Structure 1
Amino acid sequence: MVKQNALPGASVFPRRLGRVDGLLSELGRAMQVLDGSARAGRAYPAGKQDHAVAGGSAEGLTPAEQKHAAGLMRVNHVGEICAQALYRGQALFCGDAAIQNLLRKAANEEVDHLVWCRQRLTELGSRPSLLNPLWYAGSFSLGVAASRAGIARNLGFMAETESQVEQHLNQHLTDLPPGDLRSRSIVEQMRDDEIGHRMTAENNGAKKLGKPARLLMRAMSKVMTVTAYRI
């Protein structure tokens, strides 16, 4: 007599994972991203230099410089919240396994940026944006919509996103206080990674988006950056 280990009424055949399972998995991932429990896979670019937040200053920054640096890093943190949601939304309904893996790999690398920005905000005595759940939900929905446009446009959306982020990070390297070397080292590594993501998308057949789509993305990014700097 064969011993049965399955629960009464349970099928002896493994259940095939469906879209509901995928959505539940993404919900769990979103919670990790938003509650700060995600972990980086690479070392913190700012290293282990001494830092302090006392008397309104950090690492020799004036209170005004500290506040400004925190605002910029909060914007960068929101950008990584959006990148996580965007790429995972694109991957969820992508029909090509290779492209799906490419998108998820990029999302996983963006986790490092997310963790680094949050750590730097803590060092600066500040906090992430209060609107992060809204940013995540909006970006995830946008990613799902992009995934329905076909592989070439899906990758084109990724390439354009990374191109705009690259420009945005270069501007932050100009805007950061000269003495804020810790934030600068983080932003430089983020920029280098984003360049790699853009090139990966282009090398895999990304189709350049039309001008209206690019302008709309810039307008949405402007709203996000202005809002996240303060809230």
Structure 2
Amino acid sequence: MDKLITEFDRALRTVFAPAASLRPHPDAKIAEAQLSAEDKRHAAGLMRVNHCGEVCAQALYQGQALTARDPKAREALRQAAHEEVEHLAWTEQRIAELGGRQSVLNPLWYAGSLAMGVAAGLVGDRWNLGFLAETERQVGEHLASHLGSLPQADERSRAIVSQMHADETAHAEMAVALGAAELPPPAKAAMRAMSRVMTSLSYRV
């Protein structure tokens, strides 16, 4: 019962409470640029997508850690989740600075991602870690595309996305080092399809 309460509290904090970062925000020393209303709207939309992705990541890691069998894998998942909380803090603040808002669909994304994480853990640690590695690779691809799409003058958002990209790459490498299995192509394709739905909706709402 104590474990269930702890996990429920973690879910509530992720979706509804402000996140905190132990590391300095990557954009802390960068001056705010003069952006047009359209550039602000676009940048806020992209940062909302990134924030939504971090909400999903928290849920995935939580579900995977709950069902992981190997203590090393479970601890690695919890450590990665802790680092992703910082990404939540960075994107939350940047969205507010750009005059945007977080996605209203975050609770839905969280619930779905938690279920996926639990399912991934139940099929075994190698596949659990493989799911983690592929998730991080695909998130890294999205972040790289955002670096190409963000307004050139928005150096603050670009600094945040760049650091997030570096962290996600490290998480994927960690999973591989722990023995992640390579997911079959149909599974990767399904993940990409679901990701496209999430990014398209969260950019707007």
- TM-score if structure 1 supplies the norm length? 0.87
Alpha-carbon RMSD across the aligned residues, in angstroms, is 1.0
CA distance in 2, matches of 1:65, 1:153: 40
Residue 121 of structure 1 corresponds to which residue in structure 2?
95
- Work out which structure has the larger RCO, using CA pairs closer than 8 Å and 6 or more positions apart in sequence: 2
1:174 and 1:194 mapped to 2: Cα distance?
Answer: 17
* Displacement of 1:34: 1.3
CA distance in structure 2 between the partners assigned to 1:185 and 1:37 by the alignment: 21
Specify the alignment match of 1:34 in structure 2.
15
CA deviation string 1:155-201 (max 9, x = no partner): 00000000101111000000000100000000000000001000000
Q: Identity over the aligned pairs, expressed in percent?
A: 52
CA shift digits 1:189-222 (9 cap, x unpaired): 0000001000000011000000110000000000
Structure 1 unmatched runs, 5+: 1-19, 52-58
- Which of these two proteins has the greater Rg computed from alpha carbons? 1
Q: Which residue of 1 aligns with 2:110?
A: 136
Contact 1:84 1:111 in 2 (8 A): yes
Q: 2:124 aligns with which of 139, 144, 150?
A: 150
Task: Tell me, in whole angstroms, the C-alpha distance in 2 between the residues paired with 1:151 and 1:196.
Answer: 19
Give 2:57's aligned residue. Answer: 83
Q: 1:86, 1:74 → 2: CA distance?
A: 18
What pairs up with 1:1-231 in 2 under 5 angstroms? 20-51=1-32, 59-231=33-205
- Whether contact under 8 Å (2:127, 2:181) holds in the other structure is yes
Q: Give the structure 2 partner of residue 6 of structure 1.
A: none
- Mapped partners of 1:49, 1:207: distance in 2: 40
With the length of structure 2 as denominator, give the TM-score of the two structures: 0.97
Higher helix share: 2
CA contact (8 A) 1:71 1:230 kept: yes
Aligned residues: 205
